[in-house]
Copies of this chain bind each other. A is one copy, B any other.
């Protein structure tokens, strides 16, 4: 069939109750095009690698992701019954009337073989997903937490304003330390990179040019990239570890105890 040699690039392919050979075609294309593949049907699974297992026939859901990870889910349980972490090479083939999906990984050398003799549904998906995932607290939450309890940043810190407009943009938090020195705070939710340091330096310059006195710059983030540490020293900036989890707890506590009404949400 000419169709067999011309893979189509539809973003979404779904077959319901297909015969096994039809499903194999979808699976093969999905794997080669690095789409996500969903297959539900009757299968057995053999795994060999760090451990070894055998799963007798039954109806399950197979998921293959574009990064080369594999999941076999039964009808119950949070964890997959069989799986492989990202980095597998996949191969599909018909063996008689059985669809075999083979996943191979090296280091450690492992293999998972899923054999379907009946397919309920097969689906190949091109998923567009650039949405950010933030755990514990958003950057905004961390900002609120510092405003709510300034000692999270350092003892004696007093916030003056937040999202203060300066030349290059907005300063996350702006205040004075226990000695009355101006403090500019830049917050990052993840490990602070070079950009964060540079951004902070620009804010400092902008504030200095208007205040004409000493200004401390503090980069507050859960951690800092090693190489940026030296950048900070060069720029005479400081780093303060700030745990998003702690921020979230602080916020939650301050909200429940009704003390946070001063700080308008969003």
Residue-wise interface mask of A (44-74) relative to B, using a CB-CB cutoff of 8 A (1 in contact, 0 not): 1000000111111111110101110101011
- Given known contacts A16-B12, A65-B76, A55 and B125 CB-to-CB distance under 8 angstroms: no
Question: Which residues of chain B are within 8 angstroms of A56 by Cβ–Cβ distance?
Answer: 131-133
Question: Which residues of chain B are within 8 angstroms of A170 by Cβ–Cβ distance?
Answer: none
Is A123 part of the contact surface with B, judged by Cβ < 8 Å?
yes
Question: Which residues of chain B are within 8 angstroms of A120 by Cβ–Cβ distance?
Answer: 12, 125
- Count of identical protomers in the assembly: 2
Beta-carbon contact of A51 and B248 below 8 Å: yes
Residue-wise interface mask of A (210-235) relative to B, using a CB-CB cutoff of 8 A (1 in contact, 0 not): 00000000000000000000000000
Residue-wise interface mask of A (26-59) relative to B, using a CB-CB cutoff of 8 A (1 in contact, 0 not): 0000000000101010001000000111111111
Beta-carbon contact of A52 and B137 below 8 Å: yes
Interface size class of A (residues with CB under 8 A): 35 or more
Beta-carbon contact of A12 and B121 below 8 Å: yes
Beta-carbon contact of A127 and B78 below 8 Å: no
Is A179 part of the contact surface with B, judged by Cβ < 8 Å?
no
**In the complex, what distance in Å separates the CA atom of A60 from the CA atom of B66?**
13
Beta-carbon contact of B65 and A63 below 8 Å: no
- Given known contacts A12-B120, A56-B131, A56-B132, A40 and B77 CB-to-CB distance under 8 angstroms: no
Beta-carbon contact of B66 and A75 below 8 Å: yes
Among residues 108 to 160 in chain A, which have CB atoms less than 8 Å away from a CB atom of chain B?
120-121, 123, 125, 127-138
**In the complex, what distance in Å separates the CA atom of A44 from the CA atom of B131?**
8
Rounded to whole Å, the gap between the CB of A219 and the closest CB of chain B is 23
CB contact between A121 and one of B14, B53, B69, B83 (< 8 Å): that residue: B14
Question: Which residues of chain B are within 8 angstroms of A57 by Cβ–Cβ distance?
Answer: 131
Question: Which residues of chain B are within 8 angstroms of A132 by Cβ–Cβ distance?
Answer: 55-56
24 pairs from A and B in contact (CB 8 Å cutoff): A12-B120, A14-B14, A38-B38, A53-B136, A54-B133, A54-B134, A54-B138, A55-B132, A56-B131, A58-B131, A59-B128, A60-B127, A61-B127, A63-B73, A65-B76, A65-B77, A66-B75, A66-B76, A67-B75, A75-B127, A75-B129, A76-B86, A78-B85, A81-B133
